[in-house]
A and B are shown apart, each in its own frame.
Chain A
């Protein structure tokens, strides 16, 4: 069993009368890709927003390593080691690839808001940015303005930015959304490489990719967890089959 990077316990989120997330507990381990799947409206996106801090839970706790981050704002969670990529690519479109990633490295540097001296002088930031760009497969594209990149490359850029913040856990919200076959292959290979030394939590609709990537699965329905475990266990779980096939598809 690997060390737990992120643990959520009994998370609840209500929007008015609707319980979008009910009593969800999840452990994400270092060295593993943990996929969250479920039908539309199951609460997957709400869960990822609760974990990253864009939404606050009505009840429950979130632990990042040994730190209780339940009350932390998103920027503080990021500084504590939580990185996230969005469903809709979220980058700085007018800046170069290098500046995008350098900003990410700056956010985790020792003096992120220094007012004296230009950004050029922080060679450590530049080195970490260059490393992250290389790891995400964008070497040679670092001077390109981000909005000139292809959709797939923008995804890679977003992952490079997350890498440059040196996270302990990475949250990926539908990283393959709107992507062609060949582009998707590259991103899948990139995601597979992210788990080395880190934990990865991924929400994804592409089941082939999920079963290819995931070391562990959590299945959600109507805001609650209906199954969690290894992929082969989950695949044959009666409640999961019922959720995906409908109630009348009697499980053999």
Chain B
């Protein structure tokens, strides 16, 4: 019991240290790195959202970029051309749009299993991609600009302006903390345990009385909504959205972040995103064939740490209570390998 508490204390201290470092960053680092880190945190949010269905639900989705991009497009379409959009209306609308898309796509895709599920989600993701690519709804293949970033203003007084890099950074950090808290709560709740039970043995979970389809659909919509949070922030940061944001390349990249971070924890994919994006940044600066080096390093990580980078944690801090071997992992890895080779 004492050891349990000691482990928990270390986890809390480590989390606190990370949070303090993240809060201190904008006061210590140049703006470029603050923006770079914000971008990495946004991708981390997307990876954590995806992992709710991949790691905890055992459902490998290849359409999460579509939820991500859709929220970005909602912001772009709701933004006035020369004025700031209201954060308080566009943010919930964007997130709800992504969650609704998750609900509709999930309701259809969750009728299939395994590789068929992957293909159906891929097909729906590509449908949304081509919707924005081939129609004039939002600039077609050229994409669309968000000239002024959203703000919170009450009676003409600006309270929060995402145009300021430091404000934007702290808004991203607050969203990140919110997403981590929400996912941690869901994963530890009876709902989260039922979701994991359905992943490990669908037949048994159903015959115990769990409504599998409903559980997975709720998880899928929630995951889509959280991907929308990330998409909204990404669109606000770049001030530009293009169809590539919804494409399967993006989905596959996020899946790689999930895999290198580890499937069985909430924050593993965040670590995976930071590692992958950091790696790209370093390699790009020093190598011409950086993609080749990146691929080799990713293969190395997956081979040496089959449970993800989060596996390093127990090596450093002593054993954590649960490090189960991943059953759904082989399937996920296979999907990623296929997607990357295509």
Contacts and interface: CB of A to CB of B under 8 A. Distances in A.
Contacts of A75: 206-212
Interface string A61-75: 000000000000111
Given A94-B324, A112-B209, A116-B185, A106 B193 contact: yes
A232 to B, nearest CB: 34
Given A114-B190, A114-B191, A90 B201 contact: yes
Contacts of A161: 204, 208
Contacts of B205: 103, 107
A83 to B, nearest CB: 8
Contacts of B194: 103, 106-107, 112-113
Q: Which interface class (under 10, 10 to 19, 20 to 34, 35 or more) fits A? A: 35 or more
A41 B341 CA distance: 47
A95 B190 contact: no
B203 interface: yes
Contacts of A118: 188-189
A91 interface: yes
A84 interface: yes
Contacts of A83: 207
Given A112-B210, A113-B215, A119-B193, A90 B188 contact: no
B9 to A, nearest CB: 18
A125 to B, nearest CB: 8
Interface in B148-184: none
Interface in B97-154: none
A165 interface: yes
Contacts of A93: 200-201
Contact of B189 (A79, A104, A116): A116
A165 B209 contact: yes
The secondary structure that dominates the B interface is: helix
Most interface-central of B205, B208, B210, B327 (chain A CB within 10 A):
B208
Interface string B201-241: 10111111111101100100000000000000000000000
Contact of A107 (B186, B203, B208): B208
A107 B188 contact: no
B315 interface: no
B200 A106 contact: no
Contacts of A219: none
A111 interface: yes
B190 A122 contact: yes
A173 to B, nearest CB: 11
B75 interface: no
B197 interface: yes
A92 B200 contact: yes
A165 to B, nearest CB: 6
Interface in A96-135: 99, 103-104, 106-109, 111-119, 122
A136 B206 CA distance: 21
Interface string B298-315: 000000000000000000
Contact of B188 (A76, A91, A119): A119
A107 B209 contact: yes
A220 interface: no
A115 B208 contact: no
B190 A113 contact: yes
A74 B207 contact: yes
Contacts of B190: 106, 109, 111-115, 119, 122
B282 interface: no
A83 B204 CA distance: 11
B330 interface: no
A8 interface: no
Contacts of B186: 115
B193 to A, nearest CB: 5
Nearest to B201: A92
A221 interface: no
A178 B197 CA distance: 26
Contacts of A104: 208
A165 B197 CA distance: 15
A94 B323 CA distance: 10
Given A75-B208, A75-B212, A165-B209, 15 more contacts: A73-B206, A75-B206, A76-B209, A79-B209, A84-B207, A86-B207, A92-B197, A95-B200, A99-B193, A103-B193, A107-B210, A112-B194, A113-B190, A113-B215, A161-B208
Interface of A: 52, 54, 73-76, 78-79, 83-84, 86, 90-95, 99, 103-104, 106-109, 111-119, 122, 161, 165
Interface of B: 185-186, 188-194, 197, 200-201, 203-212, 214-215, 218, 324-325, 327
17 contacts: A73-B206, A74-B206, A84-B207, A92-B204, A94-B327, A95-B197, A106-B193, A106-B194, A113-B194, A113-B214, A114-B189, A114-B191, A115-B186, A115-B189, A116-B189, A119-B190, A161-B204
6 nearest CB pairs, A to B? A78-B209, A107-B209, A107-B208, A79-B209, A118-B188, A115-B191
